[in-house]
Structure 1
Amino acid sequence: MPKKINKPFWSMTQTSQTEASINIDGEITTYQWDKSDTTGASFRDDLKALGDVDVINLHINSPGGSVFEGISIYNQLKQNKATINVYVDGLAASIASVIAMAGDTIFVPENSMLMIHNPWTYCVGNSAELRKQADDLDRIAESSVTTYLAKSDGKISEEKLRQLLDEETWLSASEAVEYGLADEVLPANQMAASISDEFKQRYQNVPSALLKQTKPATPDTSAMRQKMINRATKTNQLIKQTLGGF
């Protein structure tokens, strides 16, 4: 029987003794708001549970999420001995695009997109704390720059890459291949790039086609605000713990 581990936003399935599929179909989470949320640690445990396979087919349709959790997932995939084939089924935005760089080969359908930008966070505090937060974000950004440049193999200069990151750039499939951030354009599929209202508000330059999508039911904004405050507080604590020695 195939091994299958289902989550709301992702799944891992061992399709044969030598091949497995991983699907990331939502936000990359930092904290387990409930038992169904996925973190880098749970991804590691389930990846290990798949056992030794020769090929992993990673399908991504994600608006991004936690930088640290995404980097953890990227490193886990890079350290795995399997050949990693990445398929950007719809959208690989923000840290999800960094995870995509783990692919030995990255396939992008004509109607899919990659979005790259500099990391950001919610922050509260005095002027000194805000300045430190900005410095920390600059340090965190370097890991993404290194990852993109390694994949591009010289097809994009560091200067051009930093410009694209500064401008929050939404790359078409052909542009991603041109810059070395993908390897092959595939025919368009039925899973076109999409994004939730939360991420439409968070990002600066969302393409008009994504902005015109039908809006889901309006969530409880008070609960969302409290969740954002809690997330910001925990993220700031994590950054201080991780970068405190810099």
Structure 2
Amino acid sequence: MNKLFLYSALILFPVNIFSQSAVIKTEEDPEIKALKTQFDKISYSNKTSEENAKAKLKELDFEFQKLSLENKLAAEKNKKEIYELTKKLEKLKNENELKNEEIKSASMAYAKEKNDMEMEIKRMELAEKKAKNENEILKAKLEKLKTELELRDKKDDWKKQSNTDPKYYDKPFDEKTKELVLSDRRISLNGPIVKDTADYVTERIHYFNNISTQPIFIVIDNSPGGSVMSGYRILKAMDSSKAPVYVVVKSFAASMAAVITTMAKKSFVYPNAIILHHQMSTMNWGNMTQLKEQLEWAKEWEKRLHTPVAKKMGISMDEFRKRMYEKNSDGDWQEFGDNAVNYKWADYIVDRIEETAFVKNPDYKPIESAKKASYYEEKNDEKGQRYINLPRLEPFDFYFIYNPDRYYR
């Protein structure tokens, strides 16, 4: 625009100069007319140019105005866009800050939770250590109590035992002092002799034989006799034993028990113990033919059992049977221990027996924990009489038992 105004000024300024000169020269020279004409032409041309310049200037001014307005509009738009962008930027910034705050908050919450968890873990570890320590203390206390209880039990066990060992002698009997020493290789034989009794006695004879050849003792406190088959099993176990089997009678041995006593390799009796031999007495059932057959079997058993006894006594079977009835009308020949030795029913009289097997207090634990085979339940019949039911016999077996009052049925 400034260039346009300068250009217009340069054109108009010479026109005025030339106009004044032309007036002067017209009066004086014809050439001036030509110059004037030329001037007019130039002036016209200048006017035209000026008009054109003005029009052009107007166009340019319009264009400038338009451009200015467009620039202002664009500036306003830009300003608005910048404002919008600024707002968006501010919003984004705020959102970003909010997000950062949320992240920061979440991070702080995570850090807090992590810290809380670590603190909880530490508390748990501390509690575990404390519990472990308390457990160790408790365990130590329990161990101490256990040790004290074990010590107390050992003291009690010490009190329950004699704390001595059983005595084992190859020659357990002293003939001068009449003292017999029994070891723990002893077998009790009491009550009626039945199959279970034979199992109980023979199993222990075999067991003791597998340990050593030191003497084995069958100790009879009280036995009325019993099954001839079961008694014979005991006799054969005694005969076949590598270790000597001795019989000791403390109170009473009758019938089959008396045969076992007499036929032992060595037998020992208290002076006041009673040994009873008699004819076989048994209980039989059946018709007359059967009873006759059973009687013949009983005689055969009596012969097989009493012949060795009579032979040891140095007399015959008939003499043995005769003497039974000389002593007692029932045929029950009973003798005290000191007299029984004279008849060779037993070998030695014993004044004192040392039971070295009883090393534990029997009030705490019985010396023989196994159930006694001689145990049977005692009952009362309709008359109020006490009795015991004996087990059923095996075929061809007989009870060789002292039973005057039918206690054994």
Match of 2:321 in 1: 162
Considering only CA atoms, is the larger Rg found in Structure 1 or Structure 2? Answer: 2
The gaps in structure 2 that reach 5 residues or longer are: 1-165, 171-182, 326-330, 354-376, 399-409
Instruction: Describe the shift of the 1:85–1:45 C-alpha distance in structure 2 as closer, same or farther (beyond 3 A).
Output: closer
Partner residue of 1:178 out of 338, 342, 345: 342
Q: Point out the structure with the larger strand share.
A: 1
CA RMSD of aligned residues (A): 3.1
The residue number in structure 1 matching 2:159 is: none
Q: 1:54-113 CA distances to partner (integer Å, 9 max, x unpaired)?
A: 211221121111111011101111111212332111111110011113422222111101
- Secondary structure, aligned partner of 1:86: strand
Structure 1 residue aligned with 2:220: 60
Q: 2 CA distance for matches of 1:16 and 1:66?
A: 32
Report the Cα distance in structure 2 between the residues aligned to 1:73 and 1:171, rounded to whole angstroms.
Answer: 23
Match of 2:190 in 1: 25
Query: Could you say which residue in structure 2 is the equivalent of 1:205?
Result: none
Q: CA deviation at 1:17?
A: 10
Q: Note the 1:39-50 alignment, pairs <5 A.
A: 39-50=197-208
Q: Provide closer, same or farther for how the CA distance between residues 39 and 59 of structure 1 changes in structure 2, counting only shifts above 3 A.
A: closer
One-letter code aligned to 2:351: P
Three-state SS of the structure 2 residue aligned to 1:90 is strand
Say whether 1:80 aligns with 2:80.
no
The DSSP-based 3-state class of the residue aligned with 1:219 is strand
Which residue is 1:206 aligned to? none
User: Which residue is 1:146 aligned to?
Assistant: 307
Aligned-pair distance for 1:163? 2.0
TM-score (norm. length: structure 2): 0.40
**Cα pair distance change 1:130/1:176, threshold 3 Å:** same
TM-score, normalisation: structure 1: 0.64
Question: What are the equivalent positions in structure 2 for 1:98-113 lying under 5 Å apart?
Answer: 98-113=259-274
Aligned to 1:120: 281
Distance 2:388 2:215 in 1: 42
Say whether the 8 Å CA contact 2:262–2:345 is kept in structure 1: yes
Could you tell me whether the CA contact under 8 Å between 2:224 and 2:257 is conserved in 1?
Answer: yes
Show structure 1 runs of 5+ residues with no match. Answer: 1-13, 31-37, 190-216, 241-246
Alignment size in residue pairs: 186
CA distance in 1, matches of 2:389, 2:339: 36
Q: Percent identity?
A: 24
Q: Work out the CA distance in 1 between the residues paired with 2:261 and 2:388.
A: 31
